[in-house]
Structure formats: structure tokens, C-alpha cells
């Protein structure tokens, strides 16, 4: 298993969300993170306020391949409403982190 960084940002320009869709997006993101923890795929996460061009949430996840990491990113995007970018984590010697 290799580590991948999943960067989540709100689409820009930010759509106006009423409380119900916003609550659904938050609940979907929380459920997704809980399932990743249950399957021991989540190493770390961070959230916070961000400007329009910065990530809103960051996950460091385990995946068997870049394709599997892309599938996790797509699932997180559907669950949270974030635009998700997936990056591999490399060691200092240049190989993918194990």
C-alpha cells in the first residue's frame, strides 16, 4: 500500500447552498471519513478555512495503486461536493511511500 494526498476544495465560484444541501454535504464527508477509518485507509486529515484557490480539506490515505487512489478521490468528491485532486506521497529517495 502506498500513501496518497487527497486535496479537497470547494468549486469556484462557490455556489450558494441552503442549510439542507450543506448539511447533507457535511454528513456525507463525515460518513466517508468514518468508512475510511473503519477500513484503515485513512492516515491523517486536516480541515480549515481556506481562500477560493486553496484546499478546504486534506486526507492522507492508503491505496494499492494510483488508480485505487483516484477511485477514493472520486468517491470523496461525490460524498462531500469537493473538487478533489489526488497526489502520490514520495519518500526522499524518490520512491512511492510504503
79/24 Cα distance (integer angstroms): 9
Q: Band the pLDDT of 62: cuts 50, 70, 90.
A: very high
pLDDT tops 60 at residue 11 = yes
Computed over every residue of the chain, the mean pLDDT equals 83
Query: Full-prediction pTM beyond 0.75?
Result: yes
**Domain ranges (residues) in the chain:** 18-56+65-88
pLDDT tops 60 at residue 54 = yes
Beta strands in 10-47 (DSSP E): 42-47
90: which DSSP letter? Answer: B
**Per-residue pLDDT at 94:** 57
User: How confident is the model over 32-48, as pLDDT tens digits?
Assistant: 889 999 999 999 888 87
Nearest to 36 by CA among 1, 10, 12: 1
CA angle 93, 94, 98 (to 5 degrees): 85
Please tell me which of 4-8, 19-23, 25-29 the model is most confident about, judged by mean pLDDT: 4-8
**Per-residue pLDDT at 67:** 96
Cell of 6: 487527497
85/10 Cα distance (integer angstroms): 12
Amino acid at each position: 500500500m502506498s500513501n496518497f494526498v487527497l486535496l479537497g476544495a470547494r468549486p469556484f465560484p462557490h455556489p450558494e447552498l441552503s442549510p439542507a444541501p450543506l448539511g447533507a454535504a457535511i454528513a456525507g464527508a463525515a460518513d466517508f471519513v468514518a468508512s475510511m477509518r473503519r477500513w484503515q485507509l485513512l492516515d491523517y486529515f486536516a480541515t480549515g478555512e481556506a481562500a477560493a484557490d486553496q484546499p478546504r480539506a486534506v486526507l492522507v490515505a492508503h491505496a494499492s495503486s494510483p488508480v485505487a487512489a483516484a477511485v477514493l478521490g472520486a468517491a470523496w468528491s461525490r460524498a462531500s461536493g469537493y473538487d478533489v485532486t489526488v497526489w502520490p506521497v514520495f519518500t526522499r529517495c524518490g520512491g512511492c511511500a510504503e
